[in-house]
Structure 1
Amino acid sequence: MTEAATVNAIAIGIDLGGTKIEARALAPDGGELLRRRLPTPSGSGDDAYQAVLAAIVTLVGDVEQELGQVGSVGICHPGTTSPVTGLMKNCNRVFMNGRPFETDLSRHMGRRMAFANDANCLALSEAIDGAGAGANSVFAVIIGTGCGGGIAVHGKVLAGPNRVAGEWGHNPLPWPDADELPGRQCFCGQRGCLEEWISGPAFARDHREATGVALDAPSIVAAALAGDAPAMASLDRYVDRLGRALATLVNTVDPDVIVLGGGMSNVSCLYERLPPVIAGRIFSDTFTTPIRPASHGDSSGVRGAAWLGRDLQSRA
């Protein structure tokens, strides 16, 4: 396929999630042509893994048959593919770990495809036609069930030689107070990781431990905005910790735009409250970096996968 033909072809993105596998087809201008989804196969072991491969093949085939075009394909997946072994790791669907997912799916599909994790797809989507459009560098943060990040530079994903660029969720909480040490044990094997402080479940756990009241993150925020003092204190701690974490990101990467995604990105007061916290921590006398919610919301991952696939095909 020539580059000109690729630019005018559909771009198919697949988002492999914990509960659903979603496919979207985009037109050359980014307009959505089609959306389809299947439940993510349940179970464990090889049967579940093979069912995931089959579901993706089915989705792509259905999209192309319905639109009457063969398109480029990009896959947004949790976890990471090891650059040494080619096997999946760090995936919350544990039956995927240790599997040659990229190799197996490409063989099943009989074509080249692009692969990236969900945070990198978010960064790419928002850099191309979202909250970071036109910026040279975009750091996208996921603060939801977990905590992750991705970097896009000049509209391209920056993965790094170890494929961990942007994985700030497994750095320690910076400038910890005495009562924040040594930090909770993280699933990655370390203590005090950001994921254990600024994810949605971590926010809820912090409130429960401080007050004895079990509420989910949206309920805590609603109570805080209604003037509930304990909830306000929990939200204050959360803003301070997230601000400290973002300050180290600015000191290290200094991106043009920071984009927030995931459930906690819907807390609207963050965009007003975070800048002064960051400004007080960075190694600079000014902080002007915009912090914005993801323009495409939960759709950013699948859209980023679509753009990733088109870019790979255009370079073939």
Structure 2
Amino acid sequence: MITCFDIGGSAIKCAVASADGQLGTLRRVPTPLHDFAAFSAAMAALIDAGGASRGVAISIAGVVDPDNGRIKCANIPCIDGRALAADLSAALGLPVWIINDADSFALAEANAGAARGHANVFGLILGTGVGGGLVIGGRLVSGPGGFAGEWGHGPAAAQCAGSPPVAIPRLPCGCGQSGCLDTVGGARGMERLHLMLHGQTLDSRAIVDAWQAGDANASRTIDCFTDLLSGPLAMLVNTVGASILPVGGGLSNSAPLIARLDQAVRASILRKTDTPIIVPGQAGAEPGLIGAAWLGLENIGSAHA
């Protein structure tokens, strides 16, 4: 059995995975944010409660550098900057494997969700911001620094969008650059667009609902939003050869929005197909735990190959 964790700033979620990737009972505790000893002790208690384990696989809201194992995780200060897998392995007495939450989503979808049977998969996150994870030939790609799949960063956002076109300013991004897709994609990006276009503050769910109800302002926002994202996503599809892009994050709950984005992307890629390629994720309610399970099972299998 593998003990799987999905760790965020508010909670540590845990379940045991069997050899076929099935999860047992979900357990959770608050995340200790400032004390590594308390953090590792909380994990140890959850492992002990689940019974004998062959290893620990973790999905976490942070980025692990594959060269040195150090994690960047600002919302959990006690682990930020640590060689976390090594430190936890020493504390827990078990092998530890770690991936970020977007990579975990992609792995979950490739093995147990909408992307089963597809060799090249890009797991697309449309949540507060945008992110993603890349699976090629069934294996997760991390890349230098662990940043593979981070399509939301870099000064790539168009400076006009929609029909008729409207100017889009190059907004500062939390990564330190300006003009990143993360500033205009995802829920906060949609809200910024709506405010810029109409001087109206609405949350993303209200904008999507108003668009579905035929509201002209919301329709204009969705038009610009789709235009800004579809071009870069088409380039991504052409470049990595992904045959499907399952979507996670809050905006994935709107099937009409995902269908609209899918139509725009399929109209822009080189490979013409009538089959949707951008689809809502299907891995279930706990993709972080499911992705961690497959990561752990893959590593256990490799160790015994």
| TM-score, scaled to structure 1 | 0.86
Which of the residues 168, 176, 181 maps onto 1:180?
168
Q: What whole-Å deviation, never above 9, does each CA across 1:243-276 have from its counterpart, x for those lacking one?
A: 1221121121120211110001111113321233
Q: Distance in 1 between matches of 2:38 and 2:194?
A: 39
Which of the residues 92, 110, 115 maps onto 1:127?
110
The answer (yes or no) to whether the contact 1:90–1:97 under 8 Å persists in 2 is: yes
For residue 21 of structure 1, report the CA deviation from its aligned partner.
1.0
For residue 298 of structure 1, report the CA deviation from its aligned partner.
4.1
In structure 1, the gaps of 5 or more residues are: 1-9
Q: Distance in 2 between matches of 1:143 and 1:218?
A: 13
Answer yes or no: is 1:251 the counterpart of 2:238.
Answer: yes
Identify if the C-alpha distance between structure 1 residues 170 and 298 changes in structure 2 by more than 3 Å, giving closer, same or farther.
farther
Identify if the C-alpha distance between structure 1 residues 203 and 38 changes in structure 2 by more than 3 Å, giving closer, same or farther.
same
Percent identical among aligned pairs is 37
Identify if the C-alpha distance between structure 1 residues 26 and 111 changes in structure 2 by more than 3 Å, giving closer, same or farther.
closer
The alignment covers a number of residue pairs equal to: 297
SS at match of 1:34: coil
| Paired residue type of 2:250 | G
The answer (yes or no) to whether the contact 1:243–1:277 under 8 Å persists in 2 is: yes
For residue 84 of structure 1, report the CA deviation from its aligned partner.
4.3
Task: Report the more deviating stretch, 266-275 or 138-147.
Answer: 266-275
SS at match of 1:165: coil
The answer (yes or no) to whether the contact 1:113–1:312 under 8 Å persists in 2 is: no
Answer yes or no: is 1:278 the counterpart of 2:269.
Answer: no
Answer yes or no: is 1:77 the counterpart of 2:68.
Answer: no
Aligned to 1:30: 21
Which of the residues 13, 21, 31 maps onto 2:4?
13
Identify if the C-alpha distance between structure 1 residues 298 and 194 changes in structure 2 by more than 3 Å, giving closer, same or farther.
farther
Q: Distance in 1 between matches of 2:14 and 2:20?
A: 17
Q: Distance in 2 between matches of 1:202 and 1:274?
A: 15
Q: Which runs of 4+ in 1 moved over 4 A?
A: none
The answer (yes or no) to whether the contact 2:19–2:297 under 8 Å persists in 1 is: no
The answer (yes or no) to whether the contact 2:5–2:59 under 8 Å persists in 1 is: yes
The answer (yes or no) to whether the contact 1:89–1:97 under 8 Å persists in 2 is: yes
Aligned to 2:42: 55
Q: Which residues in structure 2 correspond to 1:267-306 (within 5 Å)? A: 267-282=254-269, 284=270, 286-287=272-273, 290-306=277-293
Q: Distance in 2 between matches of 1:127 and 1:257?
A: 10
| Paired residue type of 1:204 | E
Identify if the C-alpha distance between structure 1 residues 285 and 112 changes in structure 2 by more than 3 Å, giving closer, same or farther.
closer
Identify if the C-alpha distance between structure 1 residues 293 and 99 changes in structure 2 by more than 3 Å, giving closer, same or farther.
same
The answer (yes or no) to whether the contact 2:194–2:200 under 8 Å persists in 1 is: yes
For residue 150 of structure 1, report the CA deviation from its aligned partner.
0.4
| TM-score, scaled to structure 2 | 0.89
The answer (yes or no) to whether the contact 1:73–1:310 under 8 Å persists in 2 is: no
Q: Which residues in structure 2 correspond to 1:37-116 (within 5 Å)? A: 37-42=28-33, 44=34, 47=35, 49-64=36-51, 69-89=52-72, 91-116=74-99
For residue 164 of structure 1, report the CA deviation from its aligned partner.
1.5
Aligned to 2:215: 228
Q: Distance in 2 between matches of 1:138 and 1:232?
A: 30
Aligned to 2:163: none
Please report the RMSD computed on the Cα atoms of aligned residues, expressed in angstroms. Answer: 2.1
| Paired residue type of 2:2 | A
For residue 191 of structure 1, report the CA deviation from its aligned partner.
0.8
| Paired residue type of 2:210 | A
Q: What whole-Å deviation, never above 9, does each CA across 1:37-84 have from its counterpart, x for those lacking one?
A: 112224x4xx2x4432222222222222xxxx3243211112212244
